[in-house]
Chain A
Amino acid sequence: MEALELARWQFGITTVYHFFFVPITIGLSFLVAGLELAWVRTRNEKWLRLTKFFGKVFLINFAMGIVTGLVQEFQFGMNWSDYSRFVGDIFGAPLAVEGLLAFFLESTFLGLWIFGWDKLSPAVHNACMWIAAIGTALSAYFILAANSFMQNPVGYTFNAERGRAELESFTEVLTNKVVLITLPHTLFGAFMVAGGLMAAVSMWWLIRRKPVDADAFRSTLRLGAVTLLVAGLGTVVTGDIQGKVMTEVQPMKMAAAEALYETKQPAPFSILTVGSLDGDKPFYQLEVPHLLSYLATGTWNGEVQGINNLQAEYEETYGPGNYKPYIPVTYWSFRLMITCGALAMAIGAWMLWVTRKGRVPRSDRRWPIWLAVAATLLPLFANSFGWIFTEMGRQPWIVFGLMRTEAGVSPNVGAGTVLTSLIVFTLLYGALAVVEVKLLLSAIKKGLPDVDPDNETGKQPDDKPMAFAY
């Protein structure tokens, strides 16, 4: 394989892997902050124990989020140096602002939160978690602003002499219509993941033969399920708007999502296809009439442009070349995203139903456990498929309409070097994934910790052991 392909695989692997941890971090930081707030307001010990329990789950995950994020920043320069030269004037600024505004907040205030239990008053301690949580959301905004420039470059001028894009308006970059809709979609997606995880863990504790801390876990089961469901609705609404924005700025991506080769009006949406997606008549296709028209344009009879028509149009604009993304990936990742998200919401609704009016699901059956596991994994996979779709659907562009992916790769880095780092990261990530999952499971199995509210006063004598120490 060429360095280009290896660098693309590396970007895909590290990004998808990194994004297993990001949504949990964003969603759980707010949920944990909320649990702690409930403790600060009510002084009911249940909330303190839940805070510490889910706080630990959060921290095990957070460690992986940071260290994989570091790779993301480095690999632009390592594997994609010509891309970095081309967009640095625009793309670098949101990254730098992200570091300055968000990463410092997250890391400093999380340090205070983890180790400050006996040094800060409960209110200040809780404030630290809220600040860290806001940091994660800010971080999402700036990174998505940078990514949205790649999807829909705005606020720039092209400097032919330097051969690069230069900033014309930072406000336009930060208010790119793509980022304005991608941010809420991504945040809702993150809350689905965290809500699903919280609900699943609580469900597991509730349906044990002898439920332990049933009252506490019932609260978090309902909280998690409501979060999953509400965030799910938010994801649907924002996803719908996002589809229309995407059709406007990247019509090829929408055409690729449906494998729609010829322009159609009205256009149907295919739920699944058996057979090829290369433009020949497929063997079998289950279609919903008019639906794609609605998703793409907002009207049931809107015209949706096809891949072949767009290809011809792009050749006219950008010169000869292949402007189609890899269709099977876009087609299936789009459907899998929607399916995983919808199933997760159904499970969320089921969880609320079986816990209505003080009820608890029966503990002599195994399948509720599997549904609980699915509630954790389905939203997570929906997030991954969403990212795979949005990034693969942008191909062959690294910056849509401006720079092709093959032009962005580092010219002085050989395939062997990229392969080395690809192998190193993949092995390391694989090993760490095993460790992380084991630790998460054992932390979950330990259950709610005992607490001593007196230890959270913020006024501990010097000779007492630290409340939290490694």
Chain B
Amino acid sequence: MELTTVWFCVVAFLFVGYFVLEGFDFGVGMLLPFLGRDDRERRTMINTISPLWDGNEVWLIVAGASIFAAFPEWYATLFSGFYLPLLLILVALIVRGVAFEYRHQRDDAAWKQRWDAAIIFGSFVPALLWGVAFGNIVRGVEIDADKNYVGTFFDLLNPYALLAGAVTLTLFLTHGANFLALKTRGIIHERARDASLKVGLVAAVLAVGFLLWTCLDHDDVWVWALSGLAALAFVGGLVAAWARRDGWAFVGTMAAIGLAVTALFVALFPDVMPSTLDPAYSLTTENAASTDKTLEIMSWVAVIFLPIVIGYQAWSYWVFRKRISVESIAADVPVEHTPA
């Protein structure tokens, strides 16, 4: 296989990892106002993801840096072209990241509500905009002969991309609900399972519509097959949630997101960013790539270190495997001083 193809696969893998992992912590953040009725319930929800969200976010940083290193032209076109959506995503991720750390630092209801709002905003905006961004990448945007995006911000808000945004939003909500159902006991668990079934139905309809649209645009047997499998996995997850098999429900949404993202990357290949002005201007794995030398060195680094990273991240998930409930959260005492 060409090294450029290998790195296309690595980038796809990193985004699969990012959406599968941060997808559920976005979901938990978005569900905060709906499933957590008081501070202790919200803290229970936040605690299901607090040891993990930061490690999940690094998947994005590494995915971005890998595009920079392996496909600098793609990185340059994408990041300068999608300037305003990325700015919004950055603002969202900044306030969200700070909110997790700062929310518990003061025992003051107004303070906590403000940071809750930051978490909710910071989870909704990227969950929606990542879909919009990927919808546009797959659909193609106005790229000129100099490889620069020449469209406007509003060109990015086309029906296909907006549908993609609605899909990631609802998929992540369902994914987050499944994660909460898996990680909690008691009242939160019940509410999460309910939410998973309700939002899951909406997500299923939107996702099937979006995947069909993608399949018709990119008539390729692999895109059809992966999209079909994604839909099956998602429905399987819903059935599992209904049958109270929390683990399988979560595996279902995980697989569905992973397969759907893979389908998008397969639909994209060998382009990395098609041009709607002239196919000759499209960025491909060839004309956007770094030299083989750079790709080869990075391949060695990735081959050695990705398995190690996956290993210790898996271990951290194992360490925090216990289900928690409202009772796991000490009620009044400032937490880090809790003698219990």
- Which residues does chain B contribute within 8 Å of A92, judged by CB atoms? 65, 68-70, 72, 75, 290, 294
* Nearest chain B residue, comparing its CB with the CB of A429: B94
Inter-subunit contact B47/A85 (CB<8 Å): no
How far in angstroms is the closest Cβ of chain B from A419?
12
Inter-subunit contact B319/A120 (CB<8 Å): yes
Inter-chain contact total with CB atoms closer than 8 Å: 255
- Which residues does chain A contribute within 8 Å of B298, judged by CB atoms? 93, 96-97
- Which residues does chain B contribute within 8 Å of A467, judged by CB atoms? 338, 340
- Residues 218-238 of B at the A interface (beta carbon under 8 Å): none
Q: In the complex, which of the residues A85, A99, A101, A111 contacts B61, with contact meaning CB atoms closer than 8 Å?
A: A99
How far in angstroms is the closest Cβ of chain A from B193?
21
Inter-subunit contact A89/B76 (CB<8 Å): no
* Nearest chain B residue, comparing its CB with the CB of A68: B94
- Which residues does chain A contribute within 8 Å of B78, judged by CB atoms? 77
B106 at the A interface (CB under 8 A)? yes
- Residues 399-420 of A at the B interface (beta carbon under 8 Å): 410-413, 417, 420
- Which residues does chain A contribute within 8 Å of B95, judged by CB atoms? 428
Inter-subunit contact B79/A81 (CB<8 Å): yes
- Which residues does chain A contribute within 8 Å of B62, judged by CB atoms? 96, 99-100, 103-104
How far in angstroms is the closest Cβ of chain B from A98?
7
Q: In the complex, which of the residues A67, A90, A115, A452 contacts B294, with contact meaning CB atoms closer than 8 Å?
A: A90
A371 at the B interface (CB under 8 A)? no
Inter-subunit contact B319/A108 (CB<8 Å): no
B159 at the A interface (CB under 8 A)? no
B110 at the A interface (CB under 8 A)? no
Contacts A76-B79, A115-B50 given; does A100 touch B309 at CB 8 Å: yes
Inter-subunit contact A70/B93 (CB<8 Å): yes
Contacts A112-B319, A166-B291 given; does A469 touch B337 at CB 8 Å: no
Complex CA gap A223/B153 in Å reads 53
Inter-subunit contact A464/B340 (CB<8 Å): yes
Q: In the complex, which of the residues A99, A452, A469 contacts B328, with contact meaning CB atoms closer than 8 Å?
A: A469
Q: In the complex, which of the residues A70, A90, A111, A463 contacts B90, with contact meaning CB atoms closer than 8 Å?
A: A70
Inter-subunit contact B294/A167 (CB<8 Å): yes
Inter-subunit contact B290/A111 (CB<8 Å): no
A360 at the B interface (CB under 8 A)? no
- Which residues does chain B contribute within 8 Å of A166, judged by CB atoms? 290-291, 293-294
Q: Bin chain A's interface residue count.
A: 35 or more
- Which residues does chain A contribute within 8 Å of B79, judged by CB atoms? 74, 76-78, 81, 84
Chain A proximity mask over B57-100: 1 for CB below 8 Å, otherwise 0: 11001101110111111011111110110110011011101101
Q: In the complex, which of the residues A63, A96, A428 contacts B102, with contact meaning CB atoms closer than 8 Å?
A: A63
How far in angstroms is the closest Cβ of chain A from B240?
25
B320 at the A interface (CB under 8 A)? yes
Inter-subunit contact A466/B98 (CB<8 Å): no
Which of these binds chain A: B132-140, B254-262, B300-308? B300-308
Inter-subunit contact A67/B94 (CB<8 Å): yes
Inter-subunit contact B329/A78 (CB<8 Å): no
Inter-subunit contact B80/A115 (CB<8 Å): no
Inter-subunit contact A56/B65 (CB<8 Å): no
- Which residues does chain A contribute within 8 Å of B160, judged by CB atoms? none
- Residues 310-337 of B at the A interface (beta carbon under 8 Å): 312-313, 316, 319-320, 322, 324, 327-330, 335-337
Contacts A81-B76, A421-B83, A462-B322 given; does A103 touch B58 at CB 8 Å: yes
B52 at the A interface (CB under 8 A)? yes
How far in angstroms is the closest Cβ of chain A from B32?
12
Which of these binds chain B: A250-258, A274-282, A442-450? A442-450
Inter-subunit contact B51/A465 (CB<8 Å): no
Q: In the complex, which of the residues A70, A84, A449 contacts B336, with contact meaning CB atoms closer than 8 Å?
A: A449
Inter-subunit contact B313/A108 (CB<8 Å): yes
Inter-subunit contact B43/A96 (CB<8 Å): no
Inter-subunit contact A107/B328 (CB<8 Å): no
Contacts A56-B336, A92-B65, A92-B70 given; does A112 touch B86 at CB 8 Å: no
Inter-subunit contact B47/A470 (CB<8 Å): yes
Chain B proximity mask over A70-88: 1 for CB below 8 Å, otherwise 0: 1101101111011011011
How far in angstroms is the closest Cβ of chain A from B36?
12
Complex CA gap A90/B104 in Å reads 42
Which of these binds chain A: B143-151, B169-177, B199-207, B209-217? B143-151
B245 at the A interface (CB under 8 A)? no
Q: In the complex, which of the residues A56, A84, A97 contacts B72, with contact meaning CB atoms closer than 8 Å?
A: A84
Complex CA gap A66/B105 in Å reads 18
Inter-subunit contact B291/A470 (CB<8 Å): no
Inter-subunit contact A412/B81 (CB<8 Å): yes
Inter-subunit contact B294/A107 (CB<8 Å): no
Complex CA gap A413/B84 in Å reads 10
- Which residues does chain B contribute within 8 Å of A115, judged by CB atoms? 50-51, 320
Which of A89, A104, A112 counts the most B-chain CB atoms under 10 A from its CB? A104
Complex CA gap A99/B61 in Å reads 7
- Which residues does chain B contribute within 8 Å of A8, judged by CB atoms? none
A432 at the B interface (CB under 8 A)? yes
Complex CA gap A152/B58 in Å reads 29
- Which residues does chain B contribute within 8 Å of A108, judged by CB atoms? 54-55, 58, 309, 312-313, 316
- Which residues does chain B contribute within 8 Å of A74, judged by CB atoms? 64, 79, 86, 90
A119 at the B interface (CB under 8 A)? yes
A64 at the B interface (CB under 8 A)? yes
How far in angstroms is the closest Cβ of chain B from A112?
5
How far in angstroms is the closest Cβ of chain B from A76?
7
Chain B proximity mask over A431-470: 1 for CB below 8 Å, otherwise 0: 0100100010011000001111001000000111111111
Contacts A104-B55, A115-B51, A166-B293 given; does A410 touch B309 at CB 8 Å: no
Inter-subunit contact B98/A63 (CB<8 Å): yes
B101 at the A interface (CB under 8 A)? yes
* Nearest chain A residue, comparing its CB with the CB of B79: A77
A373 at the B interface (CB under 8 A)? no
A221 at the B interface (CB under 8 A)? no
Inter-subunit contact A88/B68 (CB<8 Å): yes
- Residues 1-56 of A at the B interface (beta carbon under 8 Å): 52, 56
Complex CA gap A461/B98 in Å reads 31
Complex CA gap A120/B318 in Å reads 12
Contacts A95-B65, A104-B58, A116-B319 given; does A443 touch B105 at CB 8 Å: yes
Inter-subunit contact A100/B305 (CB<8 Å): yes
- Which residues does chain A contribute within 8 Å of B147, judged by CB atoms? 85
How far in angstroms is the closest Cβ of chain B from A114?
7
A59 at the B interface (CB under 8 A)? yes
Interface of A toward B, CB cutoff 8 Å: 52, 56, 59-60, 62-64, 66-68, 70-71, 73-74, 76-79, 81-82, 84-85, 87-93, 95-101, 103-105, 107-112, 114-116, 119-120, 164, 166-168, 170, 410-413, 417, 420-421, 424, 428, 432, 435, 439, 442-443, 449-452, 455, 462-470
Q: A70-B93, A88-B69 known; 10 other A-B pairs, CB under 8 Å?
A: A73-B64, A90-B294, A92-B72, A99-B58, A99-B66, A109-B312, A111-B52, A167-B297, A468-B335, A470-B50
User: Can you pick out 27 interface pairs between chain A and chain B where the beta carbons lie within 8 Å of each other?
Assistant: A67-B94, A70-B57, A70-B93, A73-B61, A81-B77, A85-B73, A87-B72, A90-B294, A91-B68, A93-B69, A93-B294, A93-B297, A93-B298, A97-B301, A104-B312, A108-B54, A110-B54, A111-B52, A167-B291, A170-B293, A417-B84, A421-B87, A463-B327, A465-B330, A468-B336, A470-B43, A470-B103
Q: Which 3 A-B pairs have the closest CB atoms?
A: A88-B72, A77-B79, A92-B69
